[in-house]
Amino acid sequence: MEASVSEIHRYPLRPEGFEEPLFPTRESRRAVMDHLLRAPWLSRASEMEKRGGQAAHIRREPVELENRCGRMWVVRASGRRRCRRRHHVVEVLLRWREVLAWWDEERAKDRKLVRVLLSDGAVVDLAREGPRWFLVGVTD
């Protein structure tokens, strides 16, 4: 799954023999799709488990983290009534830092992320942005 930036830049922009427009027929759309699926840095959701469990569903949902008696809990609001669902953090799987749009002061984000296994079996990515936590990814 890992590819260097130079590999990505060297990868041909379109299948051999294709000129603009790329999608005039159903067959040409299929050929372009097959070409893109051969790219080493793209993956399908069905291959996620084989490739190390990348986040398949991305969202940005505010969550709260609670520390009760030495156990961490992820608390999510659910439904219109603002019911709250709590899931115990069983294990921290990964930690990393992400710096996004550093060149633009208005859009820049510097956040810390953790991938955790929850008590219901879900593997989720949580991001800390300033004082707040967000659920930013769910692995199937």
Q: What is the pLDDT of residues 83-106, one digit of tens each?
A: 788 899 999 999 999 888 888 888
Q: How confident is the model at residue 133 (pLDDT cuts 50, 70, 90)?
A: very high
Q: What is the pLDDT of residues 119-131, one digit of tens each?
A: 888 888 999 988 9
**Span 102-122, mean pLDDT?**
88
Output the 3-class SS for the chain.
Answer: CCCCHHHHHHCCCCCCCCCCCCCCCHHHHHHHHHHHHCCCCCCCHHHCCCCCCCCCEEEEEEEEEEEECCEEEEEEEECCCCEEEEEEEEEEEEEEEEEECCCCCCCCEEEEEEEEEECCCCEEEEEEECCEEEEEEEEC
Ranges of each domain in the chain: 5-42, 57-139
CA distances from 3 to 14, 65, 126 (A): 18, 35, 25
pLDDT at 30 over 50: yes
pLDDT at 5 over 80: no
As a whole number, the mean pLDDT across the chain is 78
What does the buried/exposed string (b/e) look like for 3-13 if buried means 16 or more CB atoms within 10 Å of the residue's CB?
eeeeeeeeeee
Higher pLDDT, 83 or 136: 136
Total residue count of the chain as it appears in this document: 140
d(CA 109, CA 132) in angstroms, rounded, equals 13
Q: Which of 53, 61, 92, 91 is CA-nearest to residue 78?
A: 61
What is the predicted pLDDT for the residue at 103? 85
Q: Quick one: what percent of the chain has pLDDT higher than 70?
A: 74
Higher pLDDT, 67 or 29: 67
Q: What is the radius of gyration, based on Cα positions, of the chain? A: 20
What is the predicted pLDDT for the residue at 1? 47
